[in-house]
Amino acid sequence: MILVYVMIALRGVRGFAIPPWASMLMGGVLMIATSVETVKQAIQSIDLNVILFLISLFTISSALEVSGILRYIAGAIIRKAKTGNRLTFLIMLVSALLSLFITNDGVSTTFTPIIIESSKLTKTDPKPLLFSLAFGVTIGSVMMPTGNPQNLLIALQSGLRTPFISFVEFLTIPTFLNIILTFYMIKLFFKPEVVINEIPPLSVKDSF
């Protein structure tokens, strides 16, 4: 387990280019090879509900990304915001809401290049925007079973009769409180109180 975490943490350091899935596969093989788990136990631990859920979710996310809808949303947020504070909050809020229904990876990989490009065009610091994106997709995914695989496992194995209703009932307020508190934390550390210049229409269009 420690070896897997170390390999994932070192990804990209000095040419260390083993992808995370390969590291986890190696860890699983080593657990069986060292008799930590038997082959039968490993097979029994596979939850097809989660696997099929992830395949479906990644398919939907990929379709939205390829269609340009996510890029359009990201571009619209950047065009509407006139200050660094407003842009930071909007990115966090919208990415949190999107992550309820789309995988965190899908939202993050789509928003990140647009944020970086727009930061260069407007000469603003991309760090608070990227942090707001990272925190947004993480916090937002908590509120519903479709937010992340861990939530789905809880929904399937906890015995909840109405998992969607229960998640929303108990986690809506904490989720939005976390979004607000995290926004002020980012504001405190980075102080993104700058006026954002208009982004050239051609550049935004080219981003889609």
Residue-wise pLDDT for 1-43, tens only, equals: 788 888 878 876 777 777 877 888 888 888 888 888 888 888 8
Question: The domain containing residue 141 runs over which residues?
Answer: 47-207
Residue-wise pLDDT for 152-176, tens only, equals: 888 888 888 899 999 999 999 999 9
Do 22 and 118 belong together in one domain? no
Do 165 and 197 belong together in one domain? yes
Q: What is the secondary structure of 32-82 as a DSSP string?
A: HHTTSS-HHHHHHT--HHHHHHHHHHHHHHHHHHHHTHHHHHHHHHHHH--
Supply the pLDDT for residue 167: 92
Do 6 and 94 belong together in one domain? no
Q: How confident is the model at residue 207 (pLDDT cuts 50, 70, 90)?
A: very low
Average the pLDDT over 57-85 and give the result.
Answer: 78
Total length of the chain: 208
Q: How confident is the model at residue 196 (pLDDT cuts 50, 70, 90)?
A: low
Do 74 and 150 belong together in one domain? yes
Give yes or no for residue 203 having a pLDDT over 70: no
Do 40 and 60 belong together in one domain? no
Q: How far apart are CA 104 and CA 97, in angstroms?
A: 11
CA separation (Å) from 198 to 47, 62, 135, 204? 49, 30, 26, 10
Q: How confident is the model at residue 208 (pLDDT cuts 50, 70, 90)?
A: very low
Do 27 and 68 belong together in one domain? no
- Angle subtended by helix axes 149-157 and 163-190, to nearest 10: 150
In this prediction the pTM is 0.73
Number of domains in the chain: 2
Do 25 and 78 belong together in one domain? no
